[in-house]
Chain A
């Protein structure tokens, strides 16, 4: 079945550091890939997405590229801010899944220190 594996957390960085959160997936065919962010006490918000191989999703300075050859969708940001502290979830939606059900990774908690 479909699955998503994320980098173990928690991750702690200083402000302005470079961020990478690794995400790899297992799926048949060409799934759509997503990064969701969950700020403290809130629900999940879509951060970015990519729907086909080699697509790059980007938003708020974050980027992720859909790599079919390595089945990866790593999240990157060049210079993190304290306000980026949150839990980040990688997710996929299979191409043959009815109702576009999302399969989530376990989440990576990110803390940015000033």
Chain B
């Protein structure tokens, strides 16, 4: 089991460019999440999904889009990159909503927008 994998590990974007952060899990988890982590801050939820075809906004969704066409994949799209989106992005997954099931995190993507 690879767990939760994210690509790329690092990326530098220019203002106004777009990109997709990839996230894949091989644990057959229903729930998937995208967080951002700003320096010295905790993680904030961007979007989440409770299953293929179902997504919903988290705390900080502006400037991002997601899709969930398969159970395994949950890509995060930045359409018009802005310096405020410079952050570390973490994808996570969880089997279901039971309180006994932990969230598993990927290694993160460090994004810089200049």
Chain B associates with chain A: yes
Is A99 in contact with B97, judged by CB distance below 8 angstroms? yes
Q: How many interface residues does chain A have, given as a range?
A: 20 to 34
Partner of A43, one of B50, B56, B99, B105: B105
- Residues 83-112 of B, flagged 1 when their CB comes within 8 A of A and 0 if not, give 000000010101001111111011110000
Chain A residues at the B interface, C-beta cutoff of 8 Å: 4, 6, 32, 34, 36, 41-46, 49, 51, 89, 91, 93, 98-102, 104-107
Task: List 13 extra interface pairs beyond A4-B42, A100-B103, A102-B33, CB under 8 A.
Answer: A6-B42, A43-B90, A43-B105, A43-B107, A44-B92, A45-B105, A99-B48, A101-B58, A102-B45, A104-B44, A105-B42, A107-B40, A107-B41
Chain B residues at the A interface, C-beta cutoff of 8 Å: 4, 31, 33, 40-45, 48, 50, 56, 58, 90, 92, 94, 97-103, 105-108
Partner of B99, one of A41, A45, A46, A51: A51
Please judge, given known A-B contacts A100-B97, A100-B99, A101-B58, whether A44 and B41 are in contact too, CB under 8 Å.
Answer: no
Q: Which residue of B lies closest to A6 (CB)?
A: B42
Is B33 in contact with A32, judged by CB distance below 8 angstroms? no
Q: Which residue of A lies closest to B90 (CB)?
A: A43
Alpha-carbon distance A45/B104, docked complex (angstroms): 7
- List the A side residues contacting B50 at CB < 8 Å: 98-99
Is B100 in contact with A51, judged by CB distance below 8 angstroms? yes
A-B contact list, 15 entries, CB within 8 Å: A32-B99, A34-B102, A43-B4, A43-B90, A49-B102, A89-B42, A99-B97, A100-B31, A100-B97, A100-B99, A101-B45, A104-B44, A106-B40, A106-B42, A107-B41
Is A107 in contact with B107, judged by CB distance below 8 angstroms? no
- List the A side residues contacting B98 at CB < 8 Å: 100
Alpha-carbon distance A41/B40, docked complex (angstroms): 15
Is B94 in contact with A100, judged by CB distance below 8 angstroms? yes
Q: Which residue of A lies closest to B94 (CB)?
A: A100
Q: Which residue of A lies closest to B88 (CB)?
A: A43
Partner of A104, one of B31, B43, B100, B107: B43
